[in-house]
Amino acid sequence: MNIFITGGAGFIGINAASYYLNQKHEVTIFDNFSRPGGKKNISWLKENHTGDIRVIEGDIRSDRKKLAIGVKNADLILHLAGQVAVTSSVIDPITDFETNARGTLNILESVRLSGHNPIFIYSSTNKVYGALEDIAVTESTTRYVFNTLRFGVAETRGLDFHSPYGCSKGAADQYVRDYSRIYGLNTVVFRQSCIYGPHQHGVEDQGWVAWFMIALSQGKQLTIYGNGKQVRDLLHIDDLLSAYDAAARHIKTTKGQIYNIGGGPKNTLSIWHEFKPLLERLYKRTITPKFSDWRPGDQPIYISDIRKAKKDFHWEPKVSVKQGIENLYSWTEHDYKIYAKTAVL
C-alpha cells in the first residue's frame, strides 16, 4: 500500500510512518516543518528504515498542487497536520482556522478530484465536546470523577465548541464526515484524547505528558493550570496506530463513522495529583510545581467511551499508563537528550 501522511514529521506522523514502513508499505510524508523536532524525526526515520520513503515539504493551507500529487496514488491517507494548541488558537484564531478547517478542506478536495477513493482517517479531538459543563462531577482528593458516565463520553454527545481550536477542529471533523455522506469518500473521524509516546516534542500548551518529562529532564519549572485534579484518559501511540490500522481494515463498517479514541476508563490519570507520584519515582526527587488559573475550555474530566471502536473494528488499548509512562521516560532520558544537543530540531 501507499500511505500518505500529512503532518508526517510530527509526533503521531513519524510513529505512523515507522509503523507502516515496518510493514513494507510505501510512505509519503507531507509536512511544512513548522514544529520543533520535525527534521530530526525525518533523519531518525531514514536512519532506521531502508524502505520507500518520500518527503514533500508543503503547507496544507496553500499548496494544493503538491497535495494533489501526494494523494494521487495513495491507498490510505492519515490526515494529522494541524494547529494543535488551544492557547495558540486564542492568540491567533485566523491561523488556527486556516490550518485546521481550510487545510482539511483542501485535502478533502484533492482527494475528491483525484479520480480514486483512498481510505481517509482524520485526527480530530475531544475538544469538539467543549468544557462538558453540564456533566455532573465529584471532586475527590486526587481527581474529578464523573457522577454518571461509567464508560466515559460517547460519540452521541452533542458538539459544543469552546475555543477557536474547538471550532476549527470541529468544522474539519464535520467536513470529513460529510464528504463521505455527500461524495462517497472513505472517510473516518477519530476524536482523539491524550496521545503520548516517543518522538513527542511536547511543549507547555500541547503534549502535556511529554512536556512534563522533558521539562523535568531539563530542570525547568512546571506550571499546573487549574488545581491539578483534571482527569484525562491516556492512549499510548502504539495503541493509536493499531486503531488506525484496524479502522482501515474494517472500512466497510467504519466508512463515514466517528469514533472517540483514547485510553478509556481503564487508562486514566489526573494531570498532577496522580501523575506526580509516578514522576517522583522515576526522577527520584520531590517535584514542586507552581499553579496558575484554569485555561479557556479546560475540562475537569474527559474520558473516552471507546465501546463503539471495540464493537466496529475490534480494538482496545493494550499499553497501560504505567508501561507507557516508563516507555516515554526512557525516550526523554536518552533519545530526546541526543536531539536537544543537535543544532536542528
- Domains along the sequence of the chain with CATH: 2-341 (3.40.50.720)
Position 167 scores a pLDDT of 95
Quote the CA–CA distance of 228 and 236 in Å, as a whole number. 21
Position 60 scores a pLDDT of 98
Number of Cβ within a 10 Å radius of residue 135 = 17
Q: Is position 244 annotated as part of the catalytic site?
A: no
225-247 residue pLDDT tens: 999 999 999 999 999 999 999 99
36-57 residue pLDDT tens: 788 989 999 999 998 889 999 9
Non-local (6+) Cβ contacts of 288 within 8 A are: none
C-alpha cell at 335: 533519545
Quote the CA–CA distance of 126 and 165 in Å, as a whole number. 11
**Whose CA is closest to 199, among 86, 43, 85?**
43
Catalytic hit among 19, 122, 165, 175 = 165
Position 342 scores a pLDDT of 58
Position 37 scores a pLDDT of 81
Q: Report the share of the chain in percent with pLDDT over 70.
A: 97
Position 52 scores a pLDDT of 86
Number of Cβ within a 10 Å radius of residue 226 = 16
Residues of the chain with pLDDT under 70: 336-345
Q: Are 206 and 35 in contact (CB under 8 A)?
A: no
